[in-house]
Amino acid sequence: MIVLDLALNAVATGIVLGSIYALLALGLAITFGILHIPNVAHPAIVIAGAYAVVVLNRFGLDPILAGLLWSIPFYFIGLAFYEFYARSFESRGGGNTLQSLTLFFGISLVIEIALVVAYGTDLRSVRVGYVGESLRLGTVAIPYRFLVPALITPVVVFLLWLYLSKTNTGLAIRAVAHDERAVSVAGVNPTAIKRHAFGIATALAVIAGAALVITGPVDPFAGRIHIGRVFAIVVLAGMGTIPGTLAAAIIIGVAESLVMSFASPSWAPGVAFAILLATLALRPTGLFGGVR
């Protein structure tokens, strides 16, 4: 029975963990999954968002509310980021993946250093009433500091899915990655569409930052451990499917949690890639690639 309890707890924790991973990966599902921009700076932007949330939380603002407020300036920061990227690479006919990768790696370092300079390397956290308590269902216990941010994800996933599949701008975002010329023949400015999508992805990063900082304290380098995992989730999901991103993240979350409980926590970071490799061998388009 102890084993069963352990397994139940591991699965419950995994679902919650996966849900938070999905939130971290959603921005990347747009930039990398749909626009094919290898934005390795995404986790660093998430951490910058977490710091921004900490600042507002000092004034007593709820972190989720703070994240929502920050998402508007972050959207505009994202527009500026994309404009910089487009001018330095895409408009010059480059768009070379390796060069872009280097650029975003650089941006990620700059963000981290800027956070160190501004706030030092100490851990920062938010104050919320529910930290330290857990929801108990029989033998399963889920800390609220995980449960609350995990509950944001389904809402965000639903709204994002609705936007990308039911609005014309959402359709244009998916179309622009597919065929930029066909989009411009239709009178849509492809650069403006991609800039807007990048802005949304950056706004999502601050929501993810708010969720992450509720789960535990962050330091300027806290994004690094997530880089590999979020890319694995986006590819596993099948590049740019939004509900697929949530499903893939939960699969990885549960697998990691089971490995942590029954094997060793030191194996956990490898789980995402093990699942990814096994999946790509069988389904090169990812789990939900081609399906909407």
Partner 1 sequence: MSEPLLSVRDVSKSFGAIKALGPVGLDVAEGERLGIIGPNGSGKTTLINCITGFFRPDTGTISYKGQDITRLPAYRRARLGLSRSFQIPHPFTGMTVIENLLVPMDYGATSARKELENAEEILRSVGLAERRDHPAEQLSQLELRKLELARALAARPAILIADEAMAGLSEAEIDDILSVLFELNRAGVTVIMIEHIMHAVMRYSERVICLETGQVIAEGSPEKITSSPVVQKVYFGEQTAR
Binder among 179, 263, 278, 285 for partner 1 (CB under 8 A) = 179
Our finding on whether 284 is near partner 1 (CB under 8 A) is no
Could you say whether residue 175 binds partner 1 (CB under 8 A)? Answer: yes
Could you say which of 65, 118, 171, 225 contacts partner 1 (CB under 8 A)?
A: 171
Helix or strand (DSSP H, E) at 36: none
Binding range to partner 1, per CB under 8 A, among 71-79, 103-111, 134-142, 180-188:
180-188
Q: How many residues bind partner 1 (CB under 8 A)?
A: 20
Of 123-131, 137-145, 182-190, 251-259, the window that binds partner 1 (rule: CB under 8 A) is 182-190
Instruction: Please state, in angstroms and rounded to a whole number, the distance separating the CA atoms of residues 118 and 112.
Output: 10
Residue closer to partner 1 by CB (options 136, 178) is 178
Using CB under 8 A as the binding rule, whether residue 182 contacts partner 1 is answered as yes
- Nearest distance, CB of residue 191 and partner 1, angstroms: 9
Q: Which stretch binds partner 1 (CB under 8 A): 106-114, 170-178, 224-232, 264-272?
A: 170-178
Strand partners, 141: 136
Q: How far is the CB of 291 from partner 1 (least distance, A)?
A: 9
Interface residue with partner 1, options 89, 125, 184, 283 (CB under 8 A): 184
Between residues 270 and 290, which has the closer beta carbon with respect to partner 1?
290
Given the rule CB under 8 A, which of 65-73, 99-107, 130-138, 176-184 is the region that contacts partner 1? 176-184
We find the least distance from the C-beta atom of residue 185 to partner 1, in angstroms, to be 5
Within 10 A of 130 (CB to CB), how many other CB atoms are there? 13
Please, what is the minimum distance in Å from the beta carbon of residue 168 to partner 1?
4
Instruction: Report helix, strand or coil for 37.
Output: coil
- State the nearest-atom distance from the C-beta of 151 to partner 1, in Å: 29
- Spatial distance between the Cα atoms of 15 and 255, rounded to a whole number of angstroms: 9
In angstroms, give the least distance from the CB of 181 to partner 1.
6
Q: Which residues of 208-237 are buried (b: 16+ CB within 10 A; e: fewer)?
A: bbbbbbbbeebbbebbeebbbbbbbbbbbb
Window 185 to 204, contacts with partner 1 (CB under 8 A): 185-190
83 binds partner 1 (CB under 8 A): no
183 binds partner 1 (CB under 8 A): yes
37, 173 Cβ separation under 8 angstroms = no
Question: Measured on CA atoms in the order 105, 16, 22, 53, is the torsion positive or negative?
Answer: negative
For residues 205 and 73, the answer to whether their CB atoms sit within 8 Å is no
- Main-chain dihedrals φ then ψ at residue 140, nearest 5 degrees: -90, 130
Helix or strand run (H / E) with residue 137: strand 134-137
The two structure tokens encoding residue 120:
């030092």
61-94 in b/e burial notation, b at 16+ Cβ within 10 A?
ebbbebbbbbbeebbebbbebbeebbeebbeeee
Binding site for partner 1 (CB under 8 A): 168-169, 171-172, 174-175, 178-179, 181-190, 290, 292
